[in-house]
Structure 1
């Protein structure tokens, strides 16, 4: 449940560059490093450890990142070598058990917000090198992050034992002898350290990954991780391997897609720092995954929908910013007042591609409105190769001049879909409100409570019947 439910994916530059970047970005501090430390630094980057275990403004790997999930808010832990607040007293066996089996040193279960179901595929050597890196090179942080406190009964960590019996993988990655070494390397990265399926694979009733629909897209609360299978309509089957590599390394392809939120973080902290060899391996694997088609996508790929259209003639001369003094303001007016200055009056984006086109765009061509709504609400802030991709969010506080309400964002989103992307996508103010507050809640918590209450009632009735029988 985790990166799975709040966001995030994984991978690549040169190996030396990755090591230097990890040392600079992640506060490593060892005067001398051996091969295991260097390899471990690269594995930490590949696994995107920093994204979840570093809170905004916090020290690297010191935890405290709040992750909103359908079952409540979880906080990442301190994984620096602090013996008091981190993992400093973990043996290598303790570390391996936590990373691959989701069990802490004290024997308590981790929640699958830490993607141990994917890390379980990691080799013994990679886990060893990762352990050496954290113990020898990561700076110790002597502070305790906020503790996870889920509502009853999910706060009973022991319940994860039963979940693990049903859904945890207990085998390291097994290469496919019929495939090339490059393909197997890509499969290992995607299934293991980079944990692509954690975000991009839909979840079942018990929040387990649906293996039959691997990488076919999943809701992450406010955001949606799209289908990245090789299907030519719903997935990325029409992308070249060079397209896939470029997207992983930069988070952007003109006329196709751009990364935001979790994927933007994965590109920023992980993918852009991986070697060209590993990027090629990932691209090779992703290009050959089992295709999964979503019937809602029809027969047209989300990457080719839409065309340049101008609304300037309809709204020129007005004040198309808010609906405060015009409750009947149109989607075209909202677009011209809030979007056209960057994305251009025909929504073709800027010439240099910094501001993307809104047609031939994976977000506006999708059958789900979630990512367009989330982009308008929360914006984009991605740093790659010393460049920043930025878009302000329009869902701030009501006192903000640029804040749009749920109805306005719904109207704007509907206009963008109908004009520049997939027509007839349903968008409502209630959908915007749901995404504004983190997405849909899981019914699992309520159902478990109902089941426990029913069990308690049955137990009480059984005891009452037994007592009456004894009395008689």
Structure 2
């Protein structure tokens, strides 16, 4: 339902009571942007961020058609309006639950895990029922079919998802941990079920399944990277205060720490900003007690860089002597200031997590930064070759300015090439599984030839005998 399921039985009464409390809270404590009379189902749909992936640009809400870039190709989201011809209007509650929590459509078609059913599987029966009521009774039907997903062989064989599900999908529903507080359990349910944070922030293995040994340890999202959000004080966000985490989730901005862009900006714009304080505090409380996952960094992401004096020392030099600074001075400094310290409207480039990873820095320059919070648009224009109304930069120019920013304001050990920029524009690094799939057809042909050769040799031997 969003980008890119039964309640536990036999629980002790204390567990059951806590679970009921969690469900009620998750469905009722959202921000002021949602009207006070909003149904539980609508609040859950917002928390699950269904609209972000099931609404195409300029399209009607939940009508599908949003192109989700994956390592295997483009996957188009489906129409989940109550249309009886193009949507889910003919679904029963049980069929809806199976699609949301197990990734199987009413006609038996297996969904790709771009639909985060592996996280939604933890949702309770009561939440699923409330969501079903919302989509069937409150969402406007749209009778326009969404585009069909057409991945290349062998990924177009949806039946293969049965094997993938056996390996990486669990139908276990959420069960509160009696050793944890109600707030932490509530955060657990939001992070790992409804808001499906684990879908992006947990790394993937060779078969694109979540690496359960590194929960929330950071994962690649095509051109972007979802950072480590475990409790580690260096690699993760353990050095953040709870108030800073709440502020980031609500606004996408924390001075001296980070700014949200890419898929995270979408999550904040469409979902997280509408959660109430109690929900956001629960998420922060849960994240602060997760296992600390170390990613190998020696310094926290937000601690890099300092103000620069290059405007004074490099003014008048030849562009070829320092191309990155000249691009920065002419294109970036007007907003981020010549020394990189930013303004009230534009963030500082030092003490900023965006300038400590080459992939996210490149993506921010190529695609820009866009999010709307509290009705106010936060925008940094795109500067890639396809940019509109701004200075278009080619791959080498983007590499040059990226290296300048990294060297002055971020992680100076990182280097960017024009090939890195081209890769980002093409959707990011290819997954090993997708690369291996290129050899599938040649391998099948080779096997067939070998089988044919063996059959021919056996036939010839029998004929000779």
| TM-score (norm: length of structure 1) | 0.88
Corresponding residue number in structure 2 for 1:25: none
Q: 1:207-235 CA deviation, whole Å, 9 max, x = no partner?
A: 00101111111111111111111111111
Q: Is the 8 A contact 1:3 1:199 kept in 2?
A: no
| Cα separation, 2, equivalents of 1:467 and 1:447 | 34
Q: Is the 8 A contact 1:201 1:215 kept in 2?
A: yes
| Cα separation, 1, equivalents of 2:180 and 2:220 | 31
Aligned equivalent of 2:386, options 370, 393, 397: 397
| Cα separation, 2, equivalents of 1:45 and 1:176 | 25
Matched, 1:282 2:283: yes
Query: Cα offset for 1:279?
Result: 0.9
Secondary structure, aligned partner of 1:135: helix
Corresponding residue number in structure 2 for 1:114: 115
Aligned equivalent of 1:332, options 325, 334, 344: 325
Corresponding residue number in structure 2 for 1:309: 308
| Cα separation, 1, equivalents of 2:288 and 2:103 | 31
RMSD over aligned CA atoms reads 2.2
| Cα separation, 1, equivalents of 2:231 and 2:224 | 21
| Cα separation, 2, equivalents of 1:179 and 1:336 | 51
Query: Cα offset for 1:314?
Result: 3.9
| Cα separation, 2, equivalents of 1:276 and 1:199 | 23
Q: 1:132-177 CA deviation, whole Å, 9 max, x = no partner?
A: 1000000000101211000011111111111011111111112111
Report the CA distance shift for 1:457/1:100 in structure 2 as closer, same or farther (over 3 A): farther
Matched, 1:440 2:429: yes
* Structure 1 segment 336-375 matched on structure 2, within 5 A: 336-350=329-343, 352=344, 354-364=345-355, 366=356, 368-375=357-364
Query: Cα offset for 1:333?
Result: 1.0
User: For structure 1, which runs of at least 5 residues remain unmatched after alignment?
Assistant: 5-10, 22-32, 321-325
Query: Cα offset for 1:465?
Result: 4.7
| Cα separation, 2, equivalents of 1:407 and 1:205 | 31
Matched, 1:456 2:448: yes
Q: Is the 8 A contact 2:27 2:44 kept in 1?
A: no
Q: Is the 8 A contact 1:200 1:217 kept in 2?
A: yes
**What is the aligned length?**
439
| Cα separation, 2, equivalents of 1:18 and 1:458 | 65
Report the CA distance shift for 1:458/1:126 in structure 2 as closer, same or farther (over 3 A): farther
Q: Is the 8 A contact 1:102 1:109 kept in 2?
A: yes
Report the CA distance shift for 1:464/1:275 in structure 2 as closer, same or farther (over 3 A): farther
| Cα separation, 2, equivalents of 1:463 and 1:162 | 31
| Cα separation, 2, equivalents of 1:260 and 1:271 | 14
Q: Is the 8 A contact 1:14 1:273 kept in 2?
A: no
Secondary structure, aligned partner of 1:390: strand
Aligned equivalent of 2:373, options 363, 380, 384: 384
| TM-score (norm: length of structure 2) | 0.90
Q: Which has the higher contact order (CA 8 A, sep 6+)?
A: 1
Query: Cα offset for 1:414?
Result: 0.7
User: For structure 2, which runs of at least 5 residues remain unmatched after alignment?
Assistant: 5-25
